A = this chain, B = another copy of it.
Amino acid sequence: MNVLVLGGDGYLGWPTALRLSARGHEVGIVDNLVRRQYDEEMGVDSLVPIRDLETRVRAWRQLSGLRVRTYIGDLADADFVERTLADAAPAAVVHFAEQRSAPYSMIDRAHAVYTQVNNVVGTLNLLYAIAEVDPDIHLVKLGTMGEYGTPNIDIEEGFIEITHRGRSDVLPFPKQPGSFYHLSKVHDSHNIAFSCRNWGLRSTDLNQGVVYGQETEETALHSDLATRYDYDAVFGTVLNRFIVQAVVGHPLTVYGKGGQTRGMLDIRDTLACIELALLNPPAAGEYRVFNQFTESFSVGDLAERVADLVPGAEIEHLDDPRVEQESHYYRAAHTKLLDLGLAPHLLSDGLMASLLALVDRHRDRVDPSAIRPTVDWRRTHSHLGATAGRP
């Protein structure tokens, strides 16, 4: 299958592109390389060294004999999007190309507006380009489990049957997102669902949980193929952060009570889910939602799992910098990808041990000042010092 991976230079986009290439798909990467600029703006860097995109792609070609095309440009540039789709003529587009950090979106007004405009306009441009170039293109879009928030009822996969005053309908599951980033994903979901109804496009919206891990079958082949590992408080995800904190002897930073429960998954399962979505496309006009996670954990439980593996590791309950429920009901359906054949990598002590070993090899690259949270949801300006420079 001919596939474009948008955001193919990022944490998940890069290993996804390699996986699809390894499985015999014809792969093109579209990226504006902005993820690397966020690092410069925040004054942080991936724990694991990563190569520039050109070097990565060349290394993959040398190791595998497989060519991955690259298109450098911005989804905000509608002409670029349309030209790229026309040139690549993909059967499917996997869309990771969004600003993906909740804390980044909550730094201040400029970062909130940037996040929503970047994500919403990029996706709008993509929807128009698909409608114009080839409405049959399957849009596989990365959403987030955070779109749902934490309702007091079971979360279903995108839609829920509601019976009300004697009548019934299947309606979009109500959304209660908890940051301007999560809101941008809710806006995208509504825009995509409409485009499927209106123009007959086909799309799979993958409401992904929190991803952990770093190595995949393909990235493990050579250090030049490594994907990024974020441990800072803005872009790092919770388990990857706890692992780094444990290695460098920093207390594990649990926000508030730690009862915040989220769906999570291994990076290798992200890749498997995306390939399953691609191989089983929806019908023309269909907008479907898969909840893409394999297990739910509370933040407190995760911290204890890590602490149990590392002698001397301590847990510190910080004032929660986010506005969120610190303990709540949480049960979310996630059967659709299992029905398509997903065989999950559940969280194991073995995986955590391998992550601990990986981080230990790069422990000299850890900047301790990047670990504690710096963005406060309750403020309209979180002062990050001279580093936060988005206009």
A binding-site residues for B, Cβ under 8 Å: 78, 109-110, 112-113, 116-117, 120-121, 124-125, 128, 131-132, 151-154, 160, 162-165, 167-169, 171-180, 183, 186-187, 190-191, 193-194, 197-199, 323, 329, 377-378, 380
Contact = CB atoms under 8 A, between A and B. Distances in A.
29 contacts: A78-B110, A109-B125, A109-B128, A112-B124, A112-B128, A113-B124, A116-B121, A116-B187, A117-B117, A120-B120, A128-B380, A151-B171, A153-B163, A153-B165, A153-B169, A153-B171, A160-B164, A171-B176, A172-B175, A175-B190, A176-B193, A177-B190, A180-B194, A183-B191, A183-B194, A186-B190, A197-B323, A198-B323, A198-B378
A378 B188 CA distance: 20
A197 B153 CA distance: 19
Interface centre among A154, A178, A180, A380 (most CB of B within 10 A): A380
A174 B199 contact: no
Given A174-B174, A190-B183, A380-B199, A162 B153 contact: yes
Contacts of A191: 116, 180, 183
A238 to B, nearest CB: 20
A380 B132 contact: yes
A329 B167 contact: yes
Contacts of A190: 175, 177, 183, 186-187
Contacts of A163: 153
Contact of A121 (B113, B125, B173, B194): B113
A207 to B, nearest CB: 15
Nearest to A161: B164
A378 B131 CA distance: 10
B153 A168 contact: yes
Nearest to A381: B132
Given A109-B128, A113-B121, A190-B183, A173 B175 contact: no
Nearest to A179: B194
A334 to B, nearest CB: 15
Nearest to A155: B164
A354 to B, nearest CB: 37
A212 to B, nearest CB: 27
A190 B191 CA distance: 14
Contact of A154 (B112, B164, B175, B180): B164
A190 to B, nearest CB: 5
Contacts of A193: 176
B174 A162 contact: yes
The 9 A-B pairs with the shortest beta carbon distances in the complex, nearest first, are A171-B174, A152-B169, A109-B128, A153-B164, A187-B187, A172-B174, A153-B167, A198-B323, A131-B380
Contacts of A117: 117, 120-121
B109 A124 contact: yes
A182 to B, nearest CB: 8
B162 A162 contact: yes
Given A117-B120, A153-B163, A178-B194, 14 more contacts: A112-B128, A116-B120, A116-B121, A117-B117, A120-B187, A131-B380, A152-B167, A152-B169, A153-B162, A160-B162, A172-B176, A180-B191, A180-B194, A197-B323
Contacts of A125: 109, 113
A58 to B, nearest CB: 35
A346 B191 CA distance: 35
A144 to B, nearest CB: 14
A52 to B, nearest CB: 31
